Amino acid sequence: MLSKRSMRLYAVLCVAAIALLIVAAAPCTAAPAHPCPCCAVDEARISQILEQMTLEQKVAQLYMVGVNMLPGSRHKARRLVRDLGVGGVFLPPISSVAFSPRRTASNVRKLQLWALERDNPIPLLIAVDQEGGIPQALNDITGGTDTPGNMGLGATFDAGATLQAYDLMGQQLYALGINVNFAPVIEPDAGPSEPSMYTRCFSASTRAVAAHGAQAVRGLQANRVIACVKHFPGHANAPGDEHFGPVVNGENRETIFSRYLPPFDAAISNGAEMVMLTHATYRGLGNLPASIDPTVIELLRVELGFEGVIITDDINMGAIIAADWNELPDLAMLRAGVDIILDSAADSRPNLTRSSASYARWPHKVEEQIAAVARAVRAGRIDEGRIDRSVRRVLRLKMKYCLLDEPYRDPKQVERGLDTAEQRLLAQQLHSRALTVVRDEAELLPLDLQTQARVHVVCIGRAPQQMYAGAAWPNLSGTTLLAQVQAIDRQATGDTFPLNPHQRRIEQIVERAQAATPQVLLIGSYDAYYHPQQAELVRRLLALKLPTLIVALATPYDLLAFPEATTYLATYSNRDIAVQIAVRAIFGKAAAQGRLPVALPGLYPAGWQYQPQPKSDE
C-alpha cells in the first residue's frame, strides 16, 4: 500500500501529466522544440575549483546582489564583484538595464571582466526580471521587443504562444549576455481580491498554468538562458504582499499539493534549472516563510525531485525584515537548504520604518553578511558540507550554461539580435492573439473614421505611480492610448490622468470630454478596480451617455468597478506594442483573438470572448 506521502506525490504527478498533455496538444507553429544547447559538465573540474576556494569565497558564490552601473556608482559594483567575489548579480531597470542595448551589453561585459580579475576567476550569473507585459526590464524603451505578459499569453489559450514569446525573450537576453531570467511566474491567479500579482499569472487554472509554464522554461533555455520559476510554493495565493510584511496562506496540505505544486512539477520535468522561493508562510507545510523552512525545501528536493539551484526572493522584503529572528536570516536560509540568497539592495540597510528592531541588529553590508556566514560555519552552526553542496550546484549551472567558456557578448554586435523585424512581427501577432473583446453591446467595433470622425480619448499617462495596487514603484511605458489613437486619427483630442486623479482633475477631464462633443469616447483605464478616484472618473465619463469604449491596460478586473460599460477590451499590458495593437484593432486594422484567462466574478467566466451577433438582412 502506498504511503500518504507517495499518494500525494502520485496525485501531483497525475495532474502535471494532464497539463503536459495539454502542452503536447497545443499548436507550436514556428516555435523552437530543441533542448538547451548546453556545454558538458566536468565534475572533476568542479571539484578542483571547489578545493581551491577559501571558505569566504565559497560563501560569496551563494550571494546574488543588485548592482548599479550608472556612472559614479560602478565602484560599488566593482567592489562587490571583483573584491568580494559574489556569485551573481541582479540588473535593475535603468540603473543597469540601460536605455541602449549596447550600453546594457557593455555593463554585462564589465561585470564579467571584473569577475574574471578575481583570485578565483569564476563568471557571474547575471539576472533580470523579464516576464513580458508590464514587468519586463527589456522592452521597447530599453531597446527590446514588448511581448505579452503571462496573463496575455494565457488569454491565447495556446501554450505554443508562450513557447514563442519566451523564445523571443531568450534570444534577446542571450544577445545581451544576460544568462538568468527570474521568470516565469507559475502560480494560479487568485482573482481580483489579490492584486499583488496583477498580470503576472497565466491563468486561474492550475492545468493551464502548468502547460504555459513548462513551455516558458523550454523557450528560455533553448537560448541558453536559465529559467528561474517562481515563487515556490506560491505567492499569488497568499493574501497580502511579501514586499511589505508577513504573508500567510492558511490552506491545507492537500490543497497545496493539488492546486499549487503541479505547475512546478511540470516545469521541473521540462528542465527548469532554478526555483525561487517565496517569503510567504504556508501553514499547510510549516510555520516559517518558505525561504527559511527546511520542510518546504525538502518537499522541493525529495518529493518533486528538483536537483537544480534554489534561490530566495529578495531578502530585503518586509516578510523578512519586519519579523524578529534569533539570528541573521541568511544563516537560517542556508541551513534550511537554500543555494543562493538574493540581495537586490546590496549594502543598503532596509527601511527601518518597516523593519523590526531585532532585524536592525544584523549586518546589512554584503561583506559583513559573508563574514557572518563564514563565522557560523567555523563555529559549527552550519555544516561546511552544506555550503559545498550549494557551491557545487552553482558551479555546475555556470559550466552547463557555458559561462566558463563564453561569459559575455560583444557589445558592438548586440543590436543585431534585438528588436529585429521578425521579432517585432511575432510580438505583434502574439499581442493580437492576447487582446480580448469582453463586451461590445453597443456594437461600436470597429470604429469607422468616415462616420465616427470625432474621437476623444481619456487615458492613463505614461508613468502610473504604481506598477500594481499598493506597489512602491512606478511603471513607465513608452506611449499612451491617446498617442496611438492620434497616430491613426490626427484629429483625435484627449486628456491623460494619473493613477488616482484628484477631484479637480476629474472635473476638468469630464468638462473637456463633454465640450469636445465626440462621436466616440475612448477610455484607457489602469487598475481602476483598485483605485476609487480613477473608477469615479470613468463612471462620471460614462454618465455623459456618449458612445464609450473602455480599454483596460493592466488587469482585466476594471469592468467590476463600472459594470454598466457597454464596450470593453482587455490588453493585459500598457507596453507599447500592446497599446498599438489595441488601437489598430479598435479601428479594424488588427484582430482581437483572446479570451479571458480569468473570471470576472458575477459577469463572465474564464474562457469568455464576446461574439458579435450576426446582423439581420431586414
The alpha helices in 224-338, defined as continuous H runs, are 253-255, 261-269, 294-298, 318-321, 329-336
Q: How far is CA 333 from CA 9, 291, 427, 431, in A?
A: 25, 6, 39, 40
Q: How far is CA 527 from CA 457, 485, 560, in A?
A: 17, 21, 11
Q: From CA 161, how far away is CA 155, in angstroms rounded? A: 10
SS3 content of the chain, % helix, strand, coil (to 5): 40, 10, 45
> Could you say which DSSP state residue 613 is in?
P
* Cα three-residue angle 67-218-302, rounded to 5 degrees: 85
Measure Cα distances from 36 to 179, 231, 481 in Å. 12, 23, 39
Q: Of the residues 313, 314, 440, 576, which is catalytic?
A: 313
All residues at 6 or more sequence positions from 326 whose CB lies less than 8 Å from its CB, including other chains:
none
What are residue 130's DSSP bridge partners?
A: 136
Catalytic residue among 243, 279, 431, 531: 243
Closest CA to 588 of 468, 437, 382, 414: 437
Instruction: Give the C-alpha separation, 159 to 270, whole Å.
Output: 13
> 313 an active-site residue?
yes
Contacts of 527 (CB under 8 A, 6+ apart): 195, 198, 464, 466, 468, 469, 499, 534, 554, 555, 557, 558
Whole-number Å distance between alpha carbons of 457 and 495: 6
Which residues 6+ apart lie within 8 Å of 377 measured at CB? 55, 59, 383, 384, 387
Q: Whole-angstrom Cα distance, residue 172 to residue 406?
A: 16
8 A C-beta contact, residue 469 and residue 195: yes
Residue 331 CB partners (closer than 8 Å, separation 6+): 372, 373, 376, 381, 382
241 a catalytic residue: no
Distances (CA, A) of 306 to 115, 274, 300, 332: 28, 9, 6, 20
Angstrom CA distances, 460 to 391, 407, 560, stand at 47, 41, 18
Rg (CA), the chain: 25
Cα-Cα-Cα-Cα torsion 169, 170, 174, 177, nearest 10 degrees, comes to 70
**Hey, which bits of 176-291 come out as E strands?**
180-181, 226-232, 248-249, 274-277, 281-282
- Residue numbers annotated as active site: 243, 313
